[in-house]
Chain A
Amino acid sequence: MAELLVLPALLAYGEAAVAYVRELRGPGLAGRLAIWGVRLGWLAQTALLAGQALAADGFPWRTWAGSLNLFVWLVVGAYLIWGCTPRYRLLGLAVMPLAAVLLALAWAGGGTGFGPVDRSGAVLALHVGLMLAGFAGLTLAAGMSALYLWQERRLKRHERRLLRVRFPPLDALDRLGGRAVAVSLVLLVLGIGVGASRFERGDFDAAMAATGVVIAFYATLLVLRHEGWRGRRAALLGSGGFALVAVVLALTHFAG
């Protein structure tokens, strides 16, 4: 029965995604409905994950669909850190449609059920958790970059409705995007460190190589930011890097 918690979560995320689009007409009721949709959906998903964790005698999100379920929860949780502030609410426009679609995929793939017990142990659980949290952070950073490029375009084109829609400030999007990347890199490195304790010769595969490329890419991005590559160029790299993240996630966590 607790498996049905995915339905209110999915419904609330979907409602939030639609409400964020309506919020583009101007701040008001739609924005509040959106953020409450995110909050309630996230609580429902938290309860679902807690139920899955309690029902399993190990780490219940090893399948690709299970990982996707956990990943969505982490992305939405990270969004909620900023999204509750009216000024940053529209960040949800970049996050919630993706979250709703991915959760629907996880549900369709059976990742939201109370399935067979997996006895992978705490080390693997920590490794997967940290890696997914890191990738969730990078996803959020990509969302911020996309929003930066949109807002920058509106400012450059002198849009008449510029002040009618409450977008996050351009400079703040740039700064927060950089911080999200930095925190995500730390999480990824920690995740790899934890995973390395069980690493054996011959285990190295394409997924690990792709993860290494992602880390190198974002580390380079941080160095470039430090050297003055901020604003548009950093946003282009940040949103482009998401393609790499998607490939790595597909290879490491969501592939079969």
Chain B
Amino acid sequence: MKLTLVGVSHHDAPVELRERVALGPRAASELAARLGGEAVVLSTCNRTELYLARDDHAEEVAVETLTTLAGESGGELEAALYRLRDEAAALHLFRVAAGLDSLVPGEGEILGQVRAAYTSGATGPFLDRLFRQALHVGRRVRVETAIGESPSSVPAAAAALAQQVFGELAGRSVLLLGAGKMSESAARNLVSRGARIEAVANRTLEHAEELARKLRARPLILGDIAPELAIADVVIASTSAPGLVVGRAAVAAALRARRGRPLLLVDLAVPRDLDPTINELDGCFLYDVDDLEAVVTETLSGRRSEAARAERLVADEADRFRGWQASLDVVPTIASLRGLVEEIRDRELAKAGSRLSESERRQVESVTSQILAKLLHLPTIRMKEAAAAADGVVYAEVVRHLFGLGERSPERAEEERS
């Protein structure tokens, strides 16, 4: 069985081409079923890839399918297509699942997309094994390295900081000051981690209402935030006000009602909205945009060093897969060998059958079965091991020759004559 991968990705294909060949989950599933044999279609905003496990014409079928999807952009597609086989294809899928082929190395969404493609694909034993291992690799890389932990943007860094203070964000309440894009982006990052946007405060209520509706929060005007400071766990400030919006005294007053609960304040505005001395208050942690950018710069350099570790893990797993795939080449030989010895055993037992009592026959059957299993165990293991090396096929050929596998045995020929 051969593995073939044909696809396009953000590396070489512009968004106009990617969107032509992109498929929704249902269409991807239907296409996988139509392709015949074992097939999985992985389609995300950054890539569309066809994984086929079959022995004939796989590449032609996959290229033709993508060309059809690309329509008028067929010529452009040819230049952006990549075609990989066997170990290289497996390595590519493992890198994709690990997030190493993503725009932002280590992003976590891709693993779920690989899982969805696998579950909706037309898989058999081969692709089942390949995708299970890919999911294992993706999980392993995220557990054993810190590649997926570090945020890659300022809003994501704000959310990660909130987790450093509160742990799980489920049920934590957030107060947004300002109704601009930055506030919304930070809010969505927090919501994706389980936080709840309690209120959106803005200079004009109208703008606050607009964002509050999207985030299912209460709209407020900036002058009414004092009681909210006593309730919120996280405050995100990003107004376009020319001066400070929240002073130290207001936060200090709110702290008395908080009964020691920590408060994280993130100031994304320039000029700043929050008095920098708030950070000196007990239980208050204030970060401005420079602090967050420093954290992001540091973590991105960390991602790069973690990516090198992740690449080593992925290469190990690809090597394991290659060993497994190579062992498939000797499986027919092993099956033939076992079939032959079973056939001989059955024939000899049948000859001796009339001379043995029922209990004796059962004993002989049991003993001969054990002898054969022990006799064949080591050759089977050795053949599978050799299959992973370059001389695996030679081993299989030698075994076929020595045991006459695939030839008619003299006994069988005699039986047929009589």
Contact = CB atoms under 8 A, between A and B. Distances in A.
B165 A228 contact: no
A28 interface: yes
Contact of A155 (B143, B165, B167): B165
Contacts of B306: 26
B285 A156 contact: yes
A166 B149 contact: yes
B151 interface: yes
A195 to B, nearest CB: 35
A162 B309 CA distance: 21
Contacts of A160: 294-295, 297-298
Nearest to A88: B167
A163 B295 CA distance: 7
Contacts of B144: 28-29, 32
A162 B161 contact: yes
Nearest to B298: A160
Interface stretch (A67-75, A134-142, A230-238, A247-255): A230-238
A233 B166 CA distance: 18
Interface in B291-319: 291, 294-295, 297-299, 302, 306, 309
B167 A169 contact: yes
A158 B288 CA distance: 10
B164 A169 contact: yes
A27 interface: yes
Nearest to A225: B260
A27 B149 contact: yes
A87 interface: yes
Contacts of A161: 298
B167 A172 contact: yes
A61 interface: no
A53 interface: no
A155 to B, nearest CB: 5
Given A160-B298, A164-B299, A169 B166 contact: yes
Given A26-B306, A28-B145, A171-B262, A164 B165 contact: no
Given A162-B295, A231-B260, A231-B262, A171 B282 contact: no
Contact of B149 (A158, A163, A230): A163
Interface in A160-180: 160-164, 166-172
A229 interface: yes
A74 B381 CA distance: 47
Interface residues of A, number: 32
Contacts of A166: 146, 149
A155 B260 contact: no
B279 interface: yes
A26 B146 CA distance: 7
Question: How big is chain B's contact interface, by range?
Answer: 35 or more
Given A29-B144, A163-B295, A170 B260 contact: no
B262 A27 contact: no
A54 to B, nearest CB: 39
A164 B298 contact: yes
A160 B306 CA distance: 17
B166 A158 contact: no
Tell me if A's interface is mostly helix, strand, loop or mixed.
Answer: loop
Contacts of B163: 169
A156 B279 contact: yes
A171 B168 CA distance: 10
Nearest to A160: B298
Contacts of B143: 86
Contacts of A163: 149-151, 157, 160-161, 164, 295, 298-299
A80 B164 CA distance: 21
Contacts of A232: 282-283
B287 interface: yes
Interface centre among A151, A162, A168, A225 (most CB of B within 10 A): A162
A174 B283 CA distance: 12
Interface in A14-44: 26-29, 32
A155 B299 contact: no
B298 A27 contact: no
A172 B164 CA distance: 10
Nearest to A167: B164
A230 B166 contact: no
B261 interface: yes
B291 A158 contact: yes
Contacts of B294: 158, 160
A155 B287 CA distance: 9
A156 B262 CA distance: 12
B259 interface: yes
Interface in A113-149: none
Contacts of B260: 225, 228-231, 233-234
Interface in A35-69: none
Nearest to B301: A164
B189 to A, nearest CB: 14
Contacts of A151: 164
Contacts of B259: 227-228, 230
Given A162-B161, A168-B167, A231-B282, 15 more contacts: A26-B146, A27-B145, A27-B146, A28-B144, A158-B287, A160-B294, A163-B295, A163-B298, A166-B146, A169-B166, A169-B167, A170-B164, A170-B166, A170-B262, A230-B283
Interface of B: 143-146, 149-151, 157, 160-161, 163-168, 258-262, 279, 282-283, 285, 287, 291, 294-295, 297-299, 302, 306, 309
A-B interface, 10 closest residue pairs, ranked by CB to CB distance from nearest: A230-B260, A169-B167, A228-B259, A160-B298, A158-B291, A172-B167, A228-B260, A231-B283, A171-B166, A155-B285
22 contacts: A26-B146, A28-B144, A155-B164, A160-B294, A160-B297, A161-B298, A162-B161, A163-B149, A163-B151, A163-B157, A163-B160, A163-B164, A163-B295, A164-B150, A164-B298, A166-B146, A167-B164, A169-B166, A171-B165, A172-B167, A228-B258, A232-B282
